[in-house]
Amino acid sequence: MTQGRFISLEGGEGTGKSTQAKALANALEKKGYVVRLTREPGGTPGAEIIRDLLLTGGEDKWDIRTEALLFASARAEHCAKLIRPALTRGEWVICDRFIDSSRAYQSVSGELSDAEIMELHQVGSNYLMPDRTFILDLHEAVAAKRAAARDRGDSDRIGGRDSDYHQAVMANFRQFAADEPNRIRLVDASQDAESITAMLLQNLVDLMS
Ligand code: TMP
């Protein structure tokens, strides 16, 4: 049996990741692949409980190290119970956010280095990495407007952080794309949704066997 493929979608809030994850999953299913669409934090019952712990409550609820450990714990559960088994069965896994979100968001305060965040990933998930990662790139002000319209003033504990924070997150994502061009592709998210999905598919041709 062929090994499955693991694709992650990344970017700030309001960049259209979830819409594209669904569209990509549909397009791949039409091509005959078995697809598991999932998300982080979450994806399994236990990891969804950790999601709730992470995303509700006030800004000071968690120390940044606790926050990073909780994301890594949710990911460990998700990798062990859903992602690895699906890949072993030969399925395609499309994940709305993965390790690059931890690298982009939990590093902003400067208290945790990229190496430390990757160490948590090593311990929790034995360093499982996507075969391809798409970063949906949108000007922060445009993305913030879209996210505000979607959340109607009820953004989560991390989404509700200020614009400087979200600009730093997007700068981190762009840096990852520059550092790892083989795995990570930066996608202009200002285009219409169909054009973006077509571009994602085009950038997966080398992984289709
Ligand atoms: P979502 O609303 O796109 O599902 O993401 C939930 C929030 O969690 C979003 O603000 C990004 C944040 N996040 C992190 O800070 N670190 C992570 O590792 C992940 C997966 C999400």
pLDDT at 140: 82
State the average pLDDT for the chain: 95
Q: What is the pLDDT of residue 154?
A: 77
Calculate mean pLDDT across residues 12-37.
Answer: 95
Given a cut of 90, whether residue 141 has pLDDT beyond it is: no
Query: Which atom belonging to ligand 1 lies closest to the Cα atom of 105?
Result: 15
Q: How far is CA 64 from CA 41, 110, 158, in A?
A: 16, 10, 11
What pTM value is reported for the model? 0.96
Q: DSSP states of 23-44 as a string?
A: HHHHHHHHTT--EEEEESS-SS
Residue 56 phi/psi, 5° resolution?
A: -105, 160
| Alpha-carbon gap, residue 144 to 93, rounded angstroms | 28
Q: CATH class for domain 6-207? A: alpha beta
Please report the pLDDT score of residue 199 as a whole number. 97
Give the confidence band of 72 by pLDDT, cuts at 50, 70, 90: very high
Q: Write out the H or E segment, with its range, that includes residue 19.
A: helix 17-30
Q: Is the pLDDT confidence value at 3 over 80?
A: no
What beta strand segments (E) does 45-115 contain?
A: 92-96
Overall average pLDDT of the 184-196 stretch: 96
How many Cβ atoms are within 10 Å of 182's Cβ, its own excluded?
7
Q: Is the pLDDT of residue 76 over 90?
A: yes
For ligand 1, atom 16: residue with the closest CA: 102
CA of 3 to the centre of ligand 1 (A): 28
% of residues, the chain, pLDDT over 70:
100
Dist. CA 173–CA 105, nearest whole Å: 9
pLDDT above 90: residue 194: yes
Query: CA angle, 126 as apex, 80 and 48 as ends, to 5°?
Result: 40
pLDDT at 1: 59
Q: What is the mean pLDDT of residues 146-160?
A: 83
Alpha carbon distance 173, 178 (integer Å): 9
CA 51–ligand 1 middle distance (angstroms): 9
- CA 159 to ligand 1: nearest atom: 10
- As a whole number, mean pLDDT of residues 129-147 equals 90
Rounded to the nearest whole angstrom, what is the distance from the C-alpha of residue 108 to the centroid of ligand 1?
A: 13
Over residues 120-133, the pLDDT tens digits come to 999 999 999 999 99
Per-position DSSP letters for 82-122, written without gaps between them: IIHHHHHTT-EEEEES-HHHHHHHTTTTSSS-HHHHHHHHH
Q: Give the pLDDT of residue 148.
A: 83
Mean pLDDT for the stretch of residues 78-100: 98
CB atoms within 10 A of CB 5: 21
Is the pLDDT at 153 greater than 90, yes or no? no
Query: Which atom number of ligand 1 is nearest to the Cα of residue 17?
Result: 3
| Cα–Cα dist 36/83, whole Å | 8
Residue 101 CA to ligand 1 center (angstroms) comes to: 6
Which residues sit with their C-beta closer than 6 Å to ligand 1? 13, 39-41, 55, 71, 97, 101-102, 105-106, 156, 158-159
134 near 187, Cβ under 8 Å? yes
CA of 56 to the centre of ligand 1 (A): 12
